Structure formats: structure tokens, C-alpha cells
Chain A
Amino acid sequence: MKKVSSPQMMWRYLKQRLFFSAVWFAAAFLTVVIATILGFILINGIGAISWEFITEPPKQMMTKGGVMPAIVGTFYLTCGALLVALPLGVAAAIYLSEYAKDSMGVHTIRVLINCLAGVPSVVFGLFGLGFFVVFLGFGSSILAGSLTLGCLILPTIIAASEEAIKAVPQTFREASLALGVSKWQTIFKIVLPAAAPGLVTGSILSVGRAAGETAPIMFTAATFFTTLLPRSVFDEVMALPYHIYVLATAGTYIYETRPLQYGAVLVLITIIFAVNISAILIRIYARKNKRW
């Protein structure tokens, strides 16, 4: 190995050393931060978790009991959001990737969908309140909350679906069209089945996003406390993120309910990580079984 001799070279390598240390430090720092956050929640939250915590409603002014209605509410809201956003988002993605030409109009549609993705979550909350709750008169309800969340995840679903559809090789379409199959049949029978794993992954990831959002449901669906499970889409529900927020900031017994707060946070991130990991597993599985 050549020895570095001149002071100039030594200085250049020293700079490199310093820079590389900074880069490694950044990576280590982030790892430590996330490990601290997750470890902290796990250690403090695990004590609160019990069968009772998962299956019972809150009791005694929210200081005892569990989070079951909040889990159920979050489940309804995210399913509702997916029901709204998935068909619309996939259809829009089909248009953008299969039909759209490189025209001014299509360009505008893309830019506007990007802008929709950038709208702050609290503005979605205002929109849901002003439009669904008040203007259309749905009241604070699962319906209004699901529609609001659906609009929120729509751009994510469109982007993910478009990517999945674009990943289907062009030769598939050409082969199908060459056999005399019409365009829409090609899309339904060839393109969509081939893109299915990508579509599923994208929609699962957006479910993870919808489940954790608080601001959009604060004024459109979430309620502080109810022991009843919802009976119709016009009922208010409890939701896990909102439950955490309320317990941590607005309750009468903020310090007494700390264990419950840790428990609720642990339940929420467990749900979200489980959802995200299942999406990643599906992606890996689909890649392995890819036949092209």
C-alpha cells in the first residue's frame, strides 16, 4: 500500500475521514433516536397491555378500563377511507398510466394531484367539517370521517397504483392487443392482475397512514368518549390517535392516566407497524414469485 506522504494529501484524506465520520454519526444518531422512541414506548406501554385493555371500554372517567371502542372506531374509519379512495384512486391511476397522452390537460391533472398530496392534514379536517359535516349535513360521523380520510389518502393511492401499473411490462399489453383483445379488456384481464401485488401494497401502506392521522378526524368523526359501539355510519366513534391526544392533553387526570396513554400509543404503533410490515412482506413475496 502506498503511503500518503505530502501534507496536502494527508489533509485531503483527513477531510474525507472527518466527512465519513459525520455521515456515520448521522446514521447512528437516527438509529439511536428511533430505538429510544420505540424502546421507551415499549417499556412503558407493555405494563398497561392486558386482555382487559384491548377488549373493554374506558371506565371511571377514563382512568381505568381499556381502549376497545377506539380500536373499533379506527378500524371502521380506515376501512371506510379505503372504500372511498381505492376504487377512485386506482381508476384515476389507470387513466394516467394507460390512456393519458403527454398533453397540457394531463400535465395539469398531475400537478394538481401533487398539490392535493401537499394539503396539510388540519386543512383536510376543516374541509371535512365545512363540507361533509355542515354543508352536506352528515354531522360528526363515521361517514364524514371516512370521506375526509379517503380524500387524504387518495393522492397516495393514485401515486402507488400508477407506479404498480407502470411496472407491468409493455410487451404484456402488446401481446394482448395483438390477439385482438380490446383495450379495456387488456386492462382488466392483463394489466390489473399483473399489477395487483403493487396495488395491494400501496393501499395497505395508505391504510397505515390513515390509521395514524388525528387532525382530519378531530372535527369530523372522533368523539371523546362513548361506551357504545357504532350502529350506523352516522354515529360518532372513538379513535385511537384522538384518544391518545385527549388523554395526554385535555383529560382531567393527565398524570393518573399516563399508563393508559402509553398503552394506547403502544397499541396504535403496533397496529400501524403490523400493517406496514404486512405490506412489505407482500411486496417481497410478489417479487420472489414474479414471472417476468
Chain B
Amino acid sequence: MIAWLRDWLIEFLDKVDWPLLLGLCGVMVASLVVQSSAGGGDSHVVIAQGARFVAGVIAMVMISRIPPARLRTWTPLIFACTLALMPLVFVLGSGRSARLWIHLGFFYLQPGELLKLTVPMMLAWYLHSVRLPPGWLALTICATIIGLPVALIVLQPDLGTGMLVAASGAFAVFLAGMAWWRIGLFVGLGLGSLPIAWQFLMPYQKSRILVFLSPESDPLGTGWNIIQSKIAIGSGGWFGKGWGQGTQAHLDFLPEHTTDFAFSVLSEEWGWIGVMTLFALYLFIVGRSLWIAANARDTYSRLLSGALAMTFSIYVLVNGAMIAGLLPVVGVPMPLLSYGGTSAVSLLASFGVIMSVRAHRKFMG
């Protein structure tokens, strides 16, 4: 058992993509530094985050050992299972304003998070078997694969996760070579249907969007959050106030400063230089992942790892824009930086898939 584990690890270290691993480690270290400041000296937060990283890295290593060909044969089953978890949330779920979580005794599971991984898997599985670029029939089937889980997530209601799942699916289709004029048509249709979609939004979602348009209208609630987050970022300046010196976080002006607003803390304490460093790390991770995808051996591997890499970038863009007041407040964490269990583990698991693609590129299946 020990010997097997050792061989297994040696093989992993031999085949792992070191640039990608180092990039991820860089963000994780930054996360622990920010959390140890944002947590206000509460070592519990740092230890818990570190434990999640360990769990996530273990998941990443294990998944990286699964050949993409095997993953592909399992894909329909995995997708069906994660989809089946969704109705359970409505029965067993818990959450503050929306029922997003299933309590598993030792930790909370957020099935929406799993779908961010399994929806692009299912699309890659399907697109692997059709002629690319996809035609209307294939696009309709893709729309169904995306639409069903997204509808369930939005009904929870969790608009942020729903949009991310939809984006992760859309990226798979985009990478599959969907024609630009078709993309333009879809985007146009989506924008046109916004007034109709507005009718279906929950009151708190509507208020967030209204507040985004006019933050001063709600100085007690979400508008307050945006104002305080902008003050935190803006007061950081070039070089920031220094580690542990962010007044916005430590005086509790920033809400949820360990989770959704963790990047505001980094911006306040490390300044624009710190922000640029993180952005550079994120861009490197995305670029490296896309490069791995481009060199993959089959369509399934390419589409899956490419879609996961682009989804990762969406996290960065949406969270970064939200906390700077450039987008409405949606519950999207800064990937690997924010404090949160399911998010960190599922993100690292998705990099496990990308590393598996890298490790198995030489073989023909």
C-alpha cells in the first residue's frame, strides 16, 4: 500500500506540469497571507483554508491520475449524479437567503459547484462525438445540457453560480468552433430577453442590480458593501497599507472580508502592485492551461480543459469587477483566494483534470 502510494506519487511528480502547479501554489500562498490578515489574527481561518487546500491538492493529484479516456467513458454517469443532487438541495438544503447547501455531516456540499465541473465535461463528451464546428442540431443539444442544470440552480435561487455554469458550458461550445455569426445571434437574443428575465429575478437579486446602478441609494445594505469595498481598494494606492494594516477590513467596514471581498483586503493592504501580481498569476494559470488544452490528444480533453481554464478566468473577472463596483454584487469568490470549502476543492479538482490531460498527452487512446 505504502509502496504503491509512493510509486504513484513519484509518477505524479514526474508527469505533473510544474509551471501550472507553481502558479496555483502562488495563489494559494497569497490566499493564506490575506486570510491571516483578514481573519483578524484568528488562526482558525488560516488553518481551515490550509486544510481545504490540502484536500483540494489531494483531489487534484488523484484526478490527474485518471486518464482522460476513462474520464470520458464515466462522464454521462458523473453528470447524471451531480444533476440528481440538485433536487435534494430543495428538500435538505440550507443557506442564508437561498438554499444552496447540503449538510454532509463533516462539511457542506454545494451541488452547484460540482456542476461547474460536470457541465463542461458532459459537453466535451457530446462534442467529442460530433463533427465540429457544431451545427444547429448539436447546438440545440448543447443548449439542453447547459439549460437544465442552470435552470435548477437559478431556481435555488443562486444567480451567480447559474451564470458561471452557463459560462463554463458556453466556453466549451465556443472552443468547439461555434461560428462567430451564431455566437453573435445568441448574444443578441440573450440581451434582448433581459427585460423578460428581469421579471423572474428574486427581489434581492433585483435590488442588487438596482443598487449597483446607484450604490448611494442603499447605504445600509449591498450599496454599503460596494462603497466600502471601493474605499478599501482605492485607499490601497500603489503599494497598499501593509499586511494587517487594512483599516477597512479590520474595522469591519468590509462585509464578508474573508470570502467574497477577500480581494478587496488584498487590494487595500498590497496596493495596485499586489493586484497586478495576482492578475499576472491568474493570467499565467489560464494561459498555461489553454496551452495544455491546445496540445491535448483528443477533442474531449481539449474542450474540457480549455473550458475549465476559461471558466477560471471568469471567476477572476467577475469577482474583480464586482468588488470594484464594475458589476452587480453576485456571490462569486476570487478563485483560490477567497475562504470557502467547496469552491477551493472543486477548483483544484478541475486543475486535476487539466493536469491529467497534460500527463496523458503522449498516449493514444
Are A and B part of the same complex? no
Residues of A near any B CB (own CB < 8 A): none
